[in-house]
Amino acid sequence: MPLPQKVIPGSGYTSASGLETRGAASPRLAAAVSRFERRLASILRESATDDPKHGRARLDIVSGPASEYPALGDDERYRIEISTGRIRIEAPREWGVLRGLATLVQLACRRGQEHCFPHCVVEDAPRFAWRGLMIDTVRHFISIATLERTLDLMEFYKLNVLHLHLSDDQGFRFLGKAYPELADPREHYTQDELTALVRRAAARGIRVVPELDVPGHSASWLAVHPEWGLGERVSAVSRRFGVHASCLDPDNQHAMRAVTTLFGELAQVFPDSHAHFGGDEVMLPRGQDARAMQAAFNVRMAEILHGLDKSPMAWDEVIQPDLPRSVVIQSWRGAGARARALGAGFDTVYSAPYYLDLFYPADLHYACDPATGAAADFAGDPRLAHVRDGLLSLSRQWDAGTTEENGTEEGRVLGGEACLWTELVTDELLDTRLWSRMPAIAERFWSRGDVRDTDDMYRRLVATHETLAHMGVVDPDRDVRRRLIWSGLSREDAIGLMPLIEMLEPVKWYARLLGGSSPGTVDAARPYDADTPLDRVVDFIPAESLAARRVAAMRDAHRLRNIVAGWRSQRDHVEQCSGKGIVEDLTRVSATLSLLADQLDAHLCGRRAHVPDAALEPHGEYMLPVALHLAQRFSRGPACS
């Protein structure tokens, strides 16, 4: 993953052991080959032989040079040819070699006791020039080490833009020289750290686009300089989530001097052509209209960034008639926002259906296309029935809060960008939340538009998860067991709870964050803030249960009876661990899974079975997706044999 544009299969195999590499002449390519060799070694460690039956191979690399830093529209084409004893990667630029090496690792396969590369020709190029990932570093601080690891995996999945959200109401992560007082005193990035991160990204063919979110989402600015603000007075960096009724004052010369200076410092650290100024969810207290104020601010921000030789970028709320069409719009408020931005003449990066913090299954993200705006039917999907009212309500709010703007020319779709907001993500949880589904989105951004086979996507997603586990990055089952043991459970109980835990998913959309509040309600009581510990099972399970999908596809009665036995035995372990805090909120969902075990057993014995409606509903913050699968199975009648 992502699936290449064209693969021409051959016959035969060449050993993956003991490759001799030639042609990695530049420091960038030499380092890339070293990473390739380490990744390959992590897969080959299971090989039972060091004596390749198919002979040792030579890897030849042929490419033109590349600039110091990657840029929008760089040539990332490559060609791989694997034949007896020889592998050749050709690319017009070094960026293509990086993409080819990522493909070559994934071509390694086991043949008996040996790992080999299949003989083939791969001809590949990206569908979109912008294949991004936005990480919110503010709601919870994300360490440099985690960002470095993220860059390594972005390279592996051919993503080429890391968008860093560096300021928000809950914190300010950029330690500037002119206004150091704005930065969180404990959790921030120095300019040296960010400079090193940008260089690390460039070595992997990844651009880094910084964002300071203005004029809204600025409580962290106003906590230090309340005199810069409009709306509600801010006295401290906010710990609550949601929209805040305050913003920077564009008529305050001190505030605008700070904005200009800070973006100037960002421009020195981040050499990319684009800089993001946010512009989303600007709100003032009831009775005060923020639209005219924000319109003037947006034009001023475009001028500031143009003066720094940057292409401005902002969220789709900034669209207005006199905004320069050089501003790139990141559309997040549904497919309608994408269409409005393009129709108004703005180049656009599509993010609306790729919000990883909403716990959606991979296939819903996979069904959405940046080029056409085609989207999955989120509100109509039965797996999201528990949040359908909220989805429809928010969609209506977005449609009512936007206006059509006409451009003389249609804007271009630059690509797509997945977003991971971190209200419910910590540094320790990021890998599982991100890489459980991001490979599928990366494929949508890279591969041909007609690559649509969902079952095949899931087959390869499972395989790439196994590769990630071999690489030591993320292994959800292993990580869950470790966390249970760290919380005080015995190893036996941790293993005994897995038949339950692997069937669980968190509730979808904003259901956890809103706690029953209406979307966008200011000051509504909500169950989470920036200080809430994220240490329950619901926090560290993947967003999607692939084990539940396996049960849905399973037809072997013997294997299903083993599943039934596990669903029954987990109940005993939950009861035995009832005094442990980490299992307190599992009691109800455990009882429901035990009930489903009885129903599946009845079905396998040829008796009538049914799934109670309550089993399809949330159990606190948990869902049992297997309940929907079983309801569909039972409705078809006879059991499998």
Pair (284, 186) in one structural domain: yes
Q: Is residue 462 part of a domain?
A: no
Does residue 565 sit within a domain?
yes
Q: Is 354 in a helix, a strand, or coil?
A: coil
The pLDDT tens digits for 21-65 are 999 989 999 999 999 999 999 888 755 445 555 567 899 999 999
Beta bridge partners of 162: 133, 208
How much is the pLDDT for 641?
A: 47
**Exposed, middle or buried: residue 320 (CB in 10 Å: 0-12, 13-18, 19+)?**
middle
**CA end-to-end span of the chain, whole Å?**
35
Q: Residues 170-200: pLDDT tens digits?
A: 999 999 999 999 999 999 999 999 999 999 9
Question: Going by DSSP bridges, is the β-strand pair 207-214/274-278 parallel, antiparallel, or unpaired?
Answer: parallel
| Domain end residue (candidates: 124, 145, 179) | 124
CATH at residue 375: 3.20.20.80
| pLDDT tens track for 603-631 | 999 999 999 999 999 999 999 999 999 99
Instruction: Retrieve residue 407's tokens.
Output: 């451009």
CATH number at residue 63: 3.30.379.10
Residues 228 and 331 in one domain: yes
Q: What is the pLDDT of residues 207-263, one digit of tens each?
A: 999 999 999 999 999 999 999 999 999 999 999 999 999 999 999 999 999 999 999
Please check whether residues 92 and 143 belong to one and the same domain.
Answer: no
Which residue among 105, 124, 143 closes a domain? Answer: 124
Domain co-membership, 14 together with 109? yes
Kindly report, residue by residue over 63-80, the tens digit of the pLDDT. 999 999 999 999 999 999
Is the pLDDT at 520 greater than 80, yes or no?
no
C-alpha radius of gyration, the chain, whole number:
26
Mean pLDDT to the nearest integer, 339-357: 97
| Domain assignment of residue 86, given as a range | 6-124
pLDDT exceeds cutoff 50 at 559: yes
- Asked, for residue 599, whether it belongs to a domain, the answer is yes
Asked if the structure places residue 526 within a domain, the reply is no
**H or E segment at 416?**
strand 413-420
Judge if 272 and 365 occupy the same domain: yes
Q: What is the pTM of this model?
A: 0.96
> Confidence class of residue 110 from pLDDT cuts 50, 70 and 90?
confident
Distance between CA atoms of 81 and 340, rounded to whole angstroms? 44
Which residue type is seen at 487?
S
**Beta 20-22 vs 171-172: how paired, if at all?**
unpaired
- Residues 119 and 206 reside in one and the same domain: no
* Inside any domain, residue 531: no
- Say if residue 607 is in the same domain as residue 559: yes
Is 411 in the same domain as 491? Answer: no
pLDDT tens track for 507-518: 999 999 998 766
Per-residue pLDDT, averaged over 549-557, amounts to 95
Structure tokens belonging to residue 19: 């490759």
Residue 530 lies in a domain: no
**How many domains are there within the chain?**
3
Q: Mark whether 28 and 107 lie in a shared domain.
A: yes
In a domain, 215, yes or no: yes
Cα distance between residue 527 and residue 423, in whole Å? 11
- Report pLDDT for 37: 94
Cα 33 to the center of its chain, rounded Å: 26
Averaged pLDDT of the chain: 94
Q: Which of the listed residues 103, 124, 145 is the one where a domain comes to its end?
A: 124
pLDDT for residue 55: 60
Of 289-298, 488-497, 523-532, the poorest mean pLDDT is in 523-532
Gap between the Cα atoms of 338 and 158, Å rounded: 24
Please tell me the predicted confidence (pLDDT) of residue 48: 44
Span 432-448, pLDDT tens digits:
999 999 999 999 999 99
User: Whole-angstrom Cα distance, residue 586 to residue 589?
Assistant: 5
Secondary element (H or E) of residue 115: strand 114-124
Tokens of 396: 């209506």
Same domain, yes or no: 197 and 149: yes
What is the predicted pLDDT for the residue at 46? 55
Question: Same domain, yes or no, for 97 and 171?
Answer: no
Provide the percentage of residues in the chain whose pLDDT is more than 70.
96
Contact between residue 128 and residue 446 where contact means Cβ atoms under 8 Å apart = yes
Whether the predicted pLDDT of 524 surpasses 70:
no
For residues 114 and 29, membership in a common domain is answered with yes
- Per the domain annotation, does 401 fall within a domain? yes
